[in-house]
Structure 1
Amino acid sequence: MIRTLLWLAGGLLLGGIIHIATILTLPLLAEETTWTRVSALNARNQLVVLPPVEPGQPNPLHLDPELSYGICQLDLSEGPAYLSGVLPDAFWSVALFNEAGVVTYSTTNRDGIGQTVEMGIFNAAQTRLLAQQQIDIAEGLLVVEASSDRLFVLVRLSAPHHAMRSRFEAELSEISCGPRES
């Protein structure tokens, strides 16, 4: 009886280990990831306004059809990146995602920023240079330290009425994203 229970416990333990190992390795084997989907949008160092999500149509980034979106892909190994512009007078949010699609920083206009977004995105080494005053920044710049070099920025806008959506998306397209021009 004890031998049977030991075999049963051993089988459950081994099955649990195999199960956990499989779950943890499957994402590494995926050919299509959030990063590859964003890369396909050609948004490197520029903000691209995404087409509206149609209900019932494929939605690979799992976006809310009621919101307007702008996306920008960045590589901080090339230098600091900046997000700059004026957003419409309605709810908006800005989120930084790492390569795995995990949010590493987020803010909204309800954080007291207002409608102007001026954000500097730095990696750890660039933040040290910034602290040593070896990188010049404008006053009022929101400094964000990213945990990785490869990331993307997602800007969400919520138009109060559907008729205002195209105007909001036009304003969203005016946002600059990427390294500063010298």
Structure 2
Amino acid sequence: MNRTWLYVVGGVLLAGVIHIATVVMVPYFATDDAWSAMTTFGREDTFHTLPRTEAGAEPLASLDPHMLYAVCRFSLTDGPLRITATLPNDFWSIAVFDRRGRNRFSLNQRSAERSELDMAVITPVQMAQLRQDPPSALETAIVVEIPLQQGFALIRVFVADETLLPQARAALDTADCAGSL
């Protein structure tokens, strides 16, 4: 009888360990991550304005209907990324996400203290190389050093009412996600 209980307890503990390990490992083996989902909006290294958010037809989950969004998938394997845009004086923000959709950096118009967005996304290795001979183009840029190889940038522009929609679209059309400095 004691041996039977030992096998039952051992089996339950082993099942628990296997269950926890499986749940923890799922994100690492999932192929349908946030970066891959961005392929539906267009090619890499270009900002794509997302369709307006409407109830039940959001292009991505949890988007605010009072915002207009543009997304750019990028890869830092070939070099740093330069993001530029002329955004309105109303609220705007930009966030850089890793491949799995975790926010790695964010900035808004108050933090930037300007409507001209000029940002460079660089890996630590690329930053070490740039410190040896920094390009003059980075003097005015906000330099973001992030240890990732692939990710996406998401720009949000506040649209208070429908009359401001053309201005917001025009601002997002100026967004550039170039693959070099």
Measured against the shorter chain, the TM-score band is 0.7 to 0.9
- 1:97 Cα deviation (Å)? 0.7
Residue correspondence of structure 1 range 1-182 to structure 2 within 5 A: 6-7=6-7, 9-180=9-180
Unaligned stretches of 5+ in structure 1? none
User: CA separation in 1, counterparts of 2:109 and 2:54?
Assistant: 26
Contact 1:90 1:160 in 2 (8 A): no
- 1:179 Cα deviation (Å)? 2.2
- 1:129 Cα deviation (Å)? 1.6
- 1:165 Cα deviation (Å)? 1.9
- 1:36 Cα deviation (Å)? 1.3
The 10-residue stretch of structure 1 (125-134 or 46-55) with the greater mean CA deviation from structure 2? 125-134
User: CA separation in 1, counterparts of 2:47 and 2:54?
Assistant: 21
User: CA separation in 1, counterparts of 2:53 and 2:88?
Assistant: 20
Q: Cα deviation per residue 1:92-147 (whole Å; 9 max; x = unaligned)?
A: 11111111111111111121422111101111121002222254433221000121
TM-score by length of structure 1 reads 0.87
Distance 1:68 1:60, change over 3 A: closer
Letter matched to residue 129 of structure 2 = L
Letter matched to residue 76 of structure 1 = L
Cα RMSD, aligned residues only: 2.2
User: CA separation in 1, counterparts of 2:105 and 2:28?
Assistant: 24
Contact 2:51 2:59 in 1 (8 A): no
Letter matched to residue 150 of structure 1 = Q
- 1:150 Cα deviation (Å)? 0.9
Distance 1:144 1:58, change over 3 A: closer
User: CA separation in 2, counterparts of 1:137 and 1:170?
Assistant: 25
Contact 1:80 1:179 in 2 (8 A): yes
User: CA separation in 1, counterparts of 2:136 and 2:50?
Assistant: 32
Alignment coverage as a number of residue pairs: 181
Contact 1:130 1:136 in 2 (8 A): no
Distance 1:7 1:80, change over 3 A: same
Unaligned stretches of 5+ in structure 2? none
